[in-house]
């Protein structure tokens, strides 16, 4: 199996490193290239509580497309937890547990983190002010939170009129009299115009309908992490001119 092969390779490398350098560091893997440089850097940043830097390094690692080290999702989940990105943290933690099962080097830490996450995840679920990932809602910029917005009438394609269905838009109606002769009458419905005022927009060419930007909800998730309290935050206030 691939995994066993990888493990064996790692053991050989550790032994070789031990021979050449005379020591094996606990958490730091032998230098296998850029991935390990990033991992070492990120873990060092975590140790000095600099989770913003750790986050940036982990994201570089993910963006690089290089294969991710087995323990990486755990460390990333810890970092995200400290940045209050609880939903994201849970995603990586679950991935870690799914991939490593009971055999992960950080299994105990992962179990502990899962425990720590349960409370904040519950708060997100119960909060009405943020989306299910914990990001605070803000008013939709298209409809200004009104859910509906005035736009071109779809029914008449903003013409304000529609063809009369009774006369087929001709303004005339034909009937056969008792002598089987076709007689023409003016269409009463459209007063022989062949057209009627649009019944949806009443001729205004505009209609008020659900905002397409927010799907009619009036709100969009922002990139601000919600603290689940009603109080107005600085970033929620629109400055007046």
Query: Which residues are within 8 A (CB) of 27 and not within 5 positions of it... i.e. 6 or more apart?
Result: 43
Contact stretch for Zn ion (CB under 5 A) within 22-30, 38-46, 50-58, 207-215: 207-215
Q: Is 198 in the site for Zn ion (CB under 5 A)?
A: yes
Shortest Cβ 63–Zn ion spacing (Å): 29
- Which of 183, 208, 213, 236 is the binder for Zn ion (CB under 5 A)? 213
Give percent helix, percent strand, percent coil of the chain, each to the nearest 5. 40, 15, 45
Chain positions 149 to 168 lying near Zn ion, rule: CB under 5 A, are 153, 155-156, 164, 166-167
Beta bridge partners of 196: 162
- Which of 54, 97, 110, 130 is the binder for Zn ion (CB under 5 A)? 130
Q: 228: closest CA among 132, 136, 118, 133? A: 136
Q: Is 140 in the site for Zn ion (CB under 5 A)?
A: yes
Q: Is 210 in the site for Zn ion (CB under 5 A)?
A: no
Beta bridge partners of 174: 184
Which residues are at the interface with Zn ion (CB under 5 A)? 127, 129-130, 140, 142-143, 153, 155-156, 164, 166-167, 187, 189-190, 198, 200-201, 211, 213-214, 226, 228
């Amino acid at each position: 199996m691939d995994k066993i092969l990888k493990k064996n390779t790692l053991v050989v490398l550790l032994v070789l490193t031990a021979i050449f350098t005379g020591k094996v560091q606990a958490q730091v893997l032998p230098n296998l290239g850029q991935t390990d440089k990033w991992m070492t850097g990120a873990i060092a940043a975590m140790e000095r509580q600099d989770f913003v830097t750790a986050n940036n390094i982990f994201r570089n690692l993910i963006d690089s497309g290089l294969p991710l080290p087995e323990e990486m999702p755990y460390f990333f989940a810890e970092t995200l937890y400290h940045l209050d990105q609880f939903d994201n943290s849970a995603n990586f933690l679950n991935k870690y547990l799914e991939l490593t099962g009971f055999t992960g080097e950080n299994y105990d830490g992962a179990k502990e983190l899962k425990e720590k996450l349960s409370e904040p995840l519950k708060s997100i679920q119960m909060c009405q002010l943020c989306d299910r990932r914990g990001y605070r809602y803000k008013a939709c910029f298209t409809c200004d939170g009104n859910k509906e917005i005035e736009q071109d009438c779809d029914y008449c394609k903003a013409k304000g009129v529609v063809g009369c269905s009774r006369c087929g838009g001709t303004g005339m109606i034909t009937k056969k009299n008792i002598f089987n002769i076709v007689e023409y009458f003016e269409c009463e419905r459209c007063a022989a115009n062949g057209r009627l005022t649009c019944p949806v927009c009443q001729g205004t060419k505009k209609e008020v309908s659900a905002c397409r930007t927010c799907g009619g909800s009036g709100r969009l998730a922002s990139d601000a992490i919600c603290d689940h309290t009603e109080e107005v935050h600085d970033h929620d206030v629109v400055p007046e001119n």
